[in-house]
Structure 1
Amino acid sequence: MNARTEPGEAGAEPNTSARPSLIREFLLVAGLFLVYKLGRQLATGHTAQAFHNARRVWHLERDVHLPHENAVQSALLHGDTLVHLANTYYATVHFPATLAFLIWLYLRRPAHYVWARRVLAVVTAAALVLPFTFPLAPPRMVTGTGLVDTARAYGPSVYGPPSSDHLSNQFAAMPSLHFGWALMVAIGLIAATRSRWRWLWLLHPLVTLLVIVGTANHYWLDAIVATAMLGLALAVIHPPRRTATTAGCGTGRLSAPEPVLAGAAR
């Protein structure tokens, strides 16, 4: 007797027919992270312009009445433990959370994985253009704001002095890929799961936003620009559709991904 469970029946495994080659995906994702790191390093050497743009961003935020970044940082500085946790979150969660998200989708929701990988690749590629056209010093480097570089003051810190830091471009604050990736992780998990608690994934980008602002690594506008970029990518790269017969079941068999931007990030 055939004991295999048909898709859509109780206990059925998620559809894996759309799962791409593991080796190819490993190379693609590794390449995405490498481009992210190397691309920002190429946009160095614009220190004066980066500080000029920082003052412009700071005054623009005040002109449009965005909340002061100082208010968030003041809340963190009520205790050493809280600010240390915020620094640790900034330093250690960004890459592992995104990688874990992609691995889970690859194993359990392969069609959603292809969609999410394409969105992240497009957003990351677009974000690498801004440091060339709009270099921006983070608020922790700007005098006159009243903000503290919490990582240097309380630890842990992932950055050294800008003049000797050859692993990152600290004048590429806009957009905040910390926030953009975190928001995509939440959106992707909400789209790929059916739990009534799935909206709690939005806590990840919310905490990330408070952390990047409170530690003075980013301005509010950095997150706003990242959100706009992600929104544009999601508008043209559509998630896979669930079939009508399985839309309400826990296994959620998926139809083929939308052909839009089928070649993106390949």
Structure 2
Amino acid sequence: MMHTRSERADREPDTSARPPLVRELLLVVGLFLVYKLGRQAANGRVEEAFRNAGHVWKFERAAGLPDEGAVQGLLLHSHTLVQLANTYYATVHFPATLAFLVWLYRRRPRHYVWSRRVLTALTGAALALHLLFPLAPPRLLRAAGLVDTGQVYGPTVYGDSPATDSTANQFAAMPSLHFGWALVVAVGLIVATRSRWGLLWLLHPLLTLLVIVGTANHYWLDSLAVSALLAVAFAALRLPRTPLPAHQPWPAVVPARAYAPAAYARPGVRR
């Protein structure tokens, strides 16, 4: 199958936009460490987290949002389905985002830089919100009446005692970075691939949303909050325009009389 020069150029990575690998590795690792330390700094505010959880639960009911228990009820019909949801929650979040960044770095460097900036801005804003608004997830809220599927059916990434969990901050439910990162991955791949099937990438955030709500790790409002933050990030960090591929310049338009033989030139006319 023959491809035009513009199609071939579109398939080849723009290496001039690819940042140095070592610098990017240090940057990504540094950002991850700052994020983990920040989440730990927000830990321990148990009473405030549960008080906020009660407010969020009441607000959702007053606003007419669907009950998270309806999604969980679908999962609880099958032991296997619940375990698959728990496994998805525990294992897909980081590897999928990392694979997304690696692919962009190799194949779409310009999109990589943009996506990394969006992820950084989103994660930083989420961390600030975690510090300002600690929130217990619905699986810990007695009024919600939901099952902690990770603890009951496994696997889980959290300790048995949320207040003393030194591995993860269980009171950082809002906003949901599981859903936010999944949405960045989907939008980034849609923009970078420009395929007719690109909208299928939205299945990733959709499935993530059902999983985080069905496992009672997040409220609907957590996803709405991160979507609002992401909209601001997308508006502030526009994707740079891709330079047009180099083409051979078209020949300049030359008046026809310039090609006329001298014999046809009218006498007395200076050329």
Q: What's the CA shift string for 1:55-85, capped at 9, x where partnerless?
A: 0000000001000000000000010000000
Amino acid in structure 2 at the alignment position of 1:192: A
Identity of aligned residues (%): 65
Query: How many Å separate the matches in 2 of 1:37 and 1:14?
Result: 33
Query: How many Å separate the matches in 1 of 2:165 and 2:7?
Result: 55
Match of 1:151 in 2: 150
Tell me whether 1:46 sits opposite 2:31 in the alignment: no
Amino acid in structure 1 at the alignment position of 2:175: P
1:8 to partner: Cα distance: 2.5
User: 2:14–2:108: 8 Å Cα contact kept in structure 1?
Assistant: yes
Larger fraction in helix: 2
* 4+ long deviations beyond 3 Å: 9-12, 242-246
Query: How many Å separate the matches in 1 of 2:235 and 2:106?
Result: 25
Query: How many Å separate the matches in 1 of 2:190 and 2:215?
Result: 28
Query: How many Å separate the matches in 2 of 1:181 and 1:10?
Result: 30
User: 1:7–1:13: 8 Å Cα contact kept in structure 2?
Assistant: no
Match of 1:137 in 2: 136
Q: Secondary structure at the match of 2:96?
A: helix
Larger Rg: 2
User: 1:37–1:167: 8 Å Cα contact kept in structure 2?
Assistant: no
Match of 1:117 in 2: 116
1:243 to partner: Cα distance: 4.5
Q: Which moved more, 1:189-198 or 1:217-226?
A: 189-198
RMSD: 1.8
Alignment: residue pair count: 242
Match of 2:186 in 1: 186
Query: How many Å separate the matches in 1 of 2:119 and 2:103?
Result: 15
Q: What's the CA shift string for 1:192-217, capped at 9, x where partnerless?
A: 01221111000000000000000000
Which consecutive unaligned segments of at least 5 residues does structure 2 have?
A: 247-271
Q: Which moved more, 1:12-21 or 1:144-153?
A: 12-21
Query: How many Å separate the matches in 2 of 1:107 and 1:59?
Result: 46
Match of 2:18 in 1: 19
Match of 1:10 in 2: 8
Query: How many Å separate the matches in 2 of 1:128 and 1:13?
Result: 36
Q: Which moved more, 1:70-79 or 1:162-171?
A: 162-171
User: 2:178–2:208: 8 Å Cα contact kept in structure 1?
Assistant: yes
Tell me whether 1:205 sits opposite 2:228 in the alignment: no
Q: Scaled by the length of structure 1, what TM-score is found?
A: 0.87
1:245 to partner: Cα distance: 6.2
Distance 1:116 1:145, change over 3 A: same
Match of 1:224 in 2: 224
Amino acid in structure 1 at the alignment position of 2:82: V
Query: How many Å separate the matches in 2 of 1:113 and 1:68?
Result: 37
Amino acid in structure 2 at the alignment position of 1:176: S
